């Protein structure tokens, strides 16, 4: 029974995914985005091969796209759309008898797009790290349209590769040896998105980390006392009801500690002098813990249960713990910038 339930749920989920893909594809086609529409259907076409509606819609969108792109001379989109169809397995293409692609024309379109793309890419700038990465990716796109340009593209990539920053080193400067050491120890653990390879000598880029402890206030405990009272009923030696007023002291303790650190950092290319990224941020850890205790002042007390219970003393983080927490935040901040860098 469990086996059939899993099978039913799988079919239901799969059917929902196909329906979503169909709806999205129709929406794209309505805006003359036929290539994007066919792209939306590509995954479902390979899996939901018994879905007649899916195949009819694919064929309809494809043919409309061919007519539209031919009439508007948008050969790049035409090429990409036709390539999606040609890359389908033969058993799936056989189920699409209404689609025809002129292979010779398709190939010529690809050659034209590749030739234009190659020329445009050669004119692109190489003044920054981002520009070099963008140019590198653009060269690789050429092969999507014309694999025969492989030798030209590889030659261009080799030349560009020599100009790309690949290795890094880092330097930590600060006014507190403990904080500097903590950053050093946790660097590789917390910097998870660094795309460069470490090199202790002649690195292509250097990460400068400058930290300064702005203040540190060690743990300080203050106490304030406030007079309080409560009443209690009791019987005297003659059995007569009486009221006793109990005076007591409420003691409020406050334990505080805090630390502030300023971070300035930048990643610099040793090849060009470019500042690839940089930033600054202040970090603060501030703790203010409070608890209460109580002390009876009156000499005569009949019912101590009415006295509030003492609260446990609260603890505050040590300087070591605050340093560890701030270090994690510092390195996570830098790691976010590494994550934002473009990649090949």
Residue 229 belongs to some domain of the structure: yes
Q: Are residues 321 and 245 in the same domain?
A: yes
Q: Are residues 144 and 185 in the same domain?
A: no
Q: Are residues 184 and 307 in the same domain?
A: yes
Residue 231 belongs to some domain of the structure: yes
Residue 241 belongs to some domain of the structure: yes
pLDDT tens, residue order, the chain (344 aa): 545 444 444 554 556 789 999 999 999 999 999 999 999 999 999 999 999 999 999 999 999 999 999 999 999 999 999 999 999 999 999 999 999 999 999 999 999 999 999 999 999 999 999 999 999 999 999 999 999 999 999 999 999 999 999 999 999 999 999 999 999 999 999 999 999 999 999 999 999 999 999 999 999 999 999 999 999 999 888 889 999 999 999 999 999 999 999 999 999 999 999 999 999 999 999 999 999 999 999 999 998 999 999 999 999 999 999 999 999 999 999 999 999 999 98
- Widest distance between CA atoms in the chain: 120
Structural domain boundaries, residue 40: 2-101
Residue 37's nearest CA partner among 76, 2, 71, 80 is: 80
Q: Are residues 177 and 259 in the same domain?
A: yes
Concatenated DSSP letters of 70-139: HHHT-HHHHHHHHHHHHTS-HHHHTT-TT----HHHHHHHHHHHHHHHHHHHHTS--SSHHHHHHHHHHH
pTM equals 0.82
Could you tell me the two tokens for 221?
Answer: 């405990």
Q: Are residues 156 and 175 in the same domain?
A: no
pLDDT for 254 = 97
Edge-to-edge strands of the sheet including 275-296?
Answer: 197-198, 167-174, 205-235, 241-269, 275-296
Residue 344 belongs to some domain of the structure: no
Listed residues 101, 123, 141: the one ending a domain? 101
Residue 107 belongs to some domain of the structure: no
What is the number of domains present in the chain? 3
- Measured distance CA(275)–CA(205) in Å, rounded: 9
Q: Are residues 19 and 144 in the same domain?
A: no
User: Hey, what long-range contacts does 306-314 have (CB within 8 A, 24 or more apart)?
Assistant: 306/230, 306/232, 306/246, 307/230, 307/246, 307/248, 308/250, 313/253, 313/255, 314/255, 314/289, 314/290
Q: Are residues 194 and 150 in the same domain?
A: no
Residue 44 belongs to some domain of the structure: yes
Q: Are residues 177 and 49 in the same domain?
A: no
- Measured distance CA(33)–CA(78) in Å, rounded: 11
Residue 108 belongs to some domain of the structure: no
Q: Are residues 187 and 148 in the same domain?
A: no
The beta strand positions in the chain, using DSSP E, are: 167-174, 197-198, 205-235, 241-269, 275-296
Q: Are residues 234 and 172 in the same domain?
A: yes
Q: Are 268 and 337 in contact (CB under 8 A)?
A: no
pLDDT for 5 = 45
Q: Are residues 49 and 193 in the same domain?
A: no
Q: Are 327 and 289 in contact (CB under 8 A)?
A: no
DSSP 304: G
Listed residues 101, 131, 147: the one ending a domain? 101
Listed residues 57, 78, 101: the one ending a domain? 101
Residue reference for tokens 């927490």? 325
Residue 106 belongs to some domain of the structure: no
Q: Are residues 232 and 289 in the same domain?
A: yes
């Amino acid at each position: 029974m469990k086996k059939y339930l899993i099978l039913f749920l799988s079919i239901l989920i799969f059917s929902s995914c196909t329906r979503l893909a169909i709806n999205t594809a129709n929406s794209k086609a309505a805006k003359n985005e036929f290539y994007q529409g066919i792209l939306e259907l590509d995954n479902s076409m390979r899996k939901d091969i018994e879905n007649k509606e899916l195949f009819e819609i694919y064929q309809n969108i494809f043919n409309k796209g061919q007519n539209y792109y031919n009439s508007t001379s948008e050969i790049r989109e035409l090429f990409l759309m036709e390539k999606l169809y040609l890359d389908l397995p033969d058993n799936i293409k056989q189920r699409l008898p209404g689609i025809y692609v002129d292979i010779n024309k398709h190939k010529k379109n690809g050659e034209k797009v590749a030739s234009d793309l190659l020329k445009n890419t050669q004119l692109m700038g190489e003044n920054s790290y981002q520009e070099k990465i963008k140019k590198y990716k653009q060269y690789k796109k050429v092969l999507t349209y014309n694999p025969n340009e492989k030798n030209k593209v590889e030659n261009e990539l080799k030349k560009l590769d020599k100009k790309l920053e690949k290795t890094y080193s880092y330097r930590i400067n600060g006014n507190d040896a403990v904080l500097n050491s903590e950053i050093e120890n946790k660097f590789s653990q917390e910097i998870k998105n660094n795309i460069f390879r470490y090199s202790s000598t002649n690195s292509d880029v250097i990460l400068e980390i400058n930290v300064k402890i702005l203040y540190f206030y060690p743990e300080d405990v203050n106490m304030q006392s406030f007079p309080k009272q409560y009443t209690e009923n009791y019987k005297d030696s003659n059995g007569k009801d009486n009221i006793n007023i109990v005076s007591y002291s409420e003691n409020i303790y406050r334990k505080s500690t805090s630390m502030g650190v300023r971070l300035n950092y930048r990643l610099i290319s040793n090849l060009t002098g470019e500042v690839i990224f940089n930033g600054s941020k202040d970090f603060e850890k501030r703790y203010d813990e409070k608890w209460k205790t109580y002390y009876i002042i009156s000499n005569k007390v009949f019912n101590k249960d009415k006295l509030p219970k003492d609260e446990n003393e609260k603890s505050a983080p040590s300087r070591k713990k605050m340093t560890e927490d701030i270090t994690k935040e510092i390195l996570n901040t830098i790691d976010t910038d590494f994550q934002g860098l473009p990649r090949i």
